[in-house]
Structure 1
Amino acid sequence: MTDLFTPLRLGAVEINNRVLMAPLTRCRAEGEHVPTPLMAEYYAQRASAGLIIAEATMILPGNSAFWHEPGIYSPAQIAGWRLTTDAVHAAGGKIALQIWHGGRACHPDLNDGAIPVAPSAIAISGEEVHTPKGKQSYTVPRALQDAEIPAIVAGFAQAARNAREAGFDMVEVHAANGYLIDEFLRDGSNQRQAPYGGNREARARFLFEVLDAVSAAIGADRVGVRFSPLNSFNDMQDSDPVGLYTWLAETLNDRHLAFVHLMRADFYGKQQADVLGPVRKHYQGNLIANMGYSPAEAETAVAEGLVDAVAFGTSFLANPDLPARIRKGSALNEPNPATFYTPGPEGYTDYPTLAI
């Protein structure tokens, strides 16, 4: 019987268990969005994950949404990330980089005054962003011109090449949580006309161009993609999330990706539906699920074939040795939200592991 500790092949990469670490923004990069030795220590501590999916990482300069998030567009960033991948590999782990464009979630105060870009000139409402000037409301973004989109697609492809140069085993394209690709996909944020707006095929065009370019750059068997059909974070919604993602699941089969990573719920509980079932039914490749899984539910989901693996977020944040704790049925450390985005090791590299 398949369980959480049965090995799994994700495209070109063989992983030794199905307890994955979800991408978690931690805001510990320094200077010009350069990964640090402290980040290498943090990820190496969690190398027992079947696959670590490292945090959202900027593909291009001038698109910061978190102030101290890392990038993968400069030689210094590539060298900084190499510290992490070397440390994870030395500890026996596998690691992917989540490549990302923040879209309308970026803010001028984080980007030398540059106005953020989006599919349509619609601001995020009801949420605030942390900036050097304190919490700020989101600004109205500038709608991208069609002619500007190919350069962003090329930025994703180059980021994937840079990730491989930095030693990552694979990449995950971030198409979730109200950032640029997700903004194009969902009709609540995409009010433009064809070729990149209107019906679902046009709204998905940007996603497919990115996936095809990244696959051409490093091979589709080293590319995954993350979706959040229901998540209303960053003021997101769609009029037919089940229909959209059922169609996407079918359409993605021809691209032979390493995996699809699906966030099954909404952070805020505003949108309710079963998206996991239809995606599992229609997508023939590896399906990773995320959001709110207990170890017991994850075990059942894998054993019953509902998913191929489960990605844990805050559980991995607070438990560097999460797979060992799950295997032994041990208690889990509680995460401290006050240190999720603060600098330094507190709440980052100081969570205890089990006594051997």
Structure 2
Amino acid sequence: MTTSLLQPIQLGKVTLKNRIVMPPMTRSRANQPGDAANDLMATYYAQRSEAGLIVGEGTQISSMAKGYAWTPGIYTPEQISGWRKVTSAVHGQGGVMFAQLWHVGRVTHPDNIDGNQPLSSSAIKAENVKVFIDNGSDEPGFVDVVTPREMSIEDIKEVVAQFRQAALNAVEAGFDGIELHAANGYLINQFIDSESNLRTDQYGGCLANRLRFLDEVVAAMVDAIGADKVAVRLAPLTTLNGTVDANPEETYIAAASLLNKHNIVYLHIAEADWDDAPPMSLTFKQALRSAYQGILIYAGKYSVARAVQAIEDGLADMVAFGRPFVANPDLPSRIKHNQAWATHNPETLFGGAEKGLTDYPRFSQ
């Protein structure tokens, strides 16, 4: 039953041993101060290197791009060195790892960005959105986000350049490629979705204008490191962090077509996965498949059976399993041998040390 999920697949210039993806999951355990990846994170990712592809946790491209306390960056020499420990550990176990590069835009608080006002496509506060800050204890303090300032054209150019440099830094740090985080209500998503972008210049209004920032960031990264190392994550139906689009199917089919022109190595679709979330229709998935001809990854509470079906139906090439990878470092082996899955402890997802990160046993243990 699981054969199609366990088949190798070519991703750019690398051959993946299976079609099981460990997707990006924020764990907030970077070294402080400095937001550098560390030995603990290297152990965590190396433990999970049975995945065909690991996508690292969201990694900020600048000090202004940070949304939450204790997340890692990739813009200082110390941060690049920290990530090199991680990629070396993963490669030592035969794994393949991409970095997820993000800028959170308005989904932050001045306490996380050196007291500055956040940036966004427009000066619209994300309602009912909280982020956590370092309140001097091991427990994060949750606070409301604030109203951002609308980015100037100069700001936009600067952030495009930061994404380009971050892609170069990721390659220097040993990553096999990068995934651009254009999903879940963060900065690029704030430009794409109609209800979070009220601009009246070339970056707002019509759909082509709202996709322009995505287009420019991807073009810059492809130019820097090559299309075979650049991927993008989108979340068409999610309303996370207050971003909503009036016509998501039209918007995201157009985004997929745009990314197809850049010949990126994969497109990662995050399905809305809360209990009463809108399902992605079969026709929508088929339209995305038609619009984008590269490797398609889907994520969102997939069971093994549903993942196999998606691959066999030709809708997906690979499937990501998020939370199951937290508590099951050997998830591909458990899938192969039809072994039970452990459940994660939600109390230890963000912040802390080894507990709830590297102490989950393999099935054989």
- Alignment partners' CA distance in 2, 1:234 and 1:39: 26
Output aligned runs, 1:127-206, within 5 Å: 127-133=129-135, 134-206=141-213
- Alignment partners' CA distance in 2, 1:272 and 1:322: 26
- Alignment partners' CA distance in 1, 2:164 and 2:340: 42
- Alignment partners' CA distance in 2, 1:84 and 1:221: 21
1:87-116 deviation digits (Å, cap 9, x = unpaired): 000000000000110100021011221000
Please, which of 92, 109, 116 is the counterpart of residue 90 of structure 1? Answer: 92
1:293 matched residue in structure 2: 302
Contact 1:302 1:309 in 2 (8 A): yes
2:138 matched residue in structure 1: none
Shift of residue 270 of structure 1? Answer: 4.9
Identity of aligned residues (%): 44
The worse-fitting range, judged by mean Cα deviation, of 265-274 and 312-321 is: 265-274
Output aligned runs, 1:273-284, within 5 Å: 273-274=280-281, 275-284=284-293
1:23 matched residue in structure 2: 24
Q: Are 1:319 and 2:328 counterparts?
A: yes
- Alignment partners' CA distance in 2, 1:210 and 1:38: 31
1:119 matched residue in structure 2: 121
TM-score (norm 2): 0.95
Structure 2: gaps spanning 5 or more residues = 136-140
- Alignment partners' CA distance in 1, 2:41 and 2:115: 28
Output aligned runs, 1:40-59, within 5 Å: 40-59=42-61
The worse-fitting range, judged by mean Cα deviation, of 296-305 and 326-335 is: 296-305
- Alignment partners' CA distance in 2, 1:63 and 1:100: 7
- Alignment partners' CA distance in 2, 1:305 and 1:101: 32
- Alignment partners' CA distance in 2, 1:273 and 1:290: 12
Structure 1: gaps spanning 5 or more residues = none
The SS at the match of 1:20 is strand
- Alignment partners' CA distance in 2, 1:205 and 1:56: 22
Contact 1:116 1:141 in 2 (8 A): yes
Query: Residue type matched to 1:200 in 2?
Result: L
2:4 matched residue in structure 1: 3
- Alignment partners' CA distance in 2, 1:244 and 1:313: 26
Contact 2:97 2:176 in 1 (8 A): yes
1:265-299 deviation digits (Å, cap 9, x = unpaired): 25464544424332123221110000010011111
The SS at the match of 1:171 is strand
Please, which of 248, 252, 257 is the counterpart of residue 245 of structure 1? Answer: 252
Shift of residue 302 of structure 1? Answer: 1.2
1:314-349 deviation digits (Å, cap 9, x = unpaired): 011111000000011110010111100021011100
The SS at the match of 2:241 is coil
TM-score (norm 1): 0.97
- Alignment partners' CA distance in 2, 1:73 and 1:226: 21
Shift of residue 264 of structure 1? Answer: 2.1
Contact 2:65 2:102 in 1 (8 A): no
Contact 1:232 1:267 in 2 (8 A): no
The SS at the match of 1:349 is coil
Shift of residue 304 of structure 1? Answer: 2.2
The SS at the match of 1:81 is helix
Query: Residue type matched to 1:352 in 2?
Result: P
- Alignment partners' CA distance in 1, 2:347 and 2:29: 14
The SS at the match of 2:156 is helix
Shift of residue 5 of structure 1? Answer: 1.2
1:239-281 deviation digits (Å, cap 9, x = unpaired): 0001111122223222111000001225464544424332123
Give the count of matched residue pairs: 356
- Alignment partners' CA distance in 2, 1:267 and 1:112: 33
Please, which of 261, 267, 276 is the counterpart of residue 254 of structure 1? Answer: 261
1:337 matched residue in structure 2: 346
Query: Residue type matched to 2:36 in 1?
Result: V
- Alignment partners' CA distance in 2, 1:235 and 1:270: 14
Q: Are 1:355 and 2:364 counterparts?
A: yes
- Alignment partners' CA distance in 2, 1:157 and 1:130: 27
| Alignment RMSD (CA, Å) | 1.4
Contact 2:273 2:301 in 1 (8 A): no
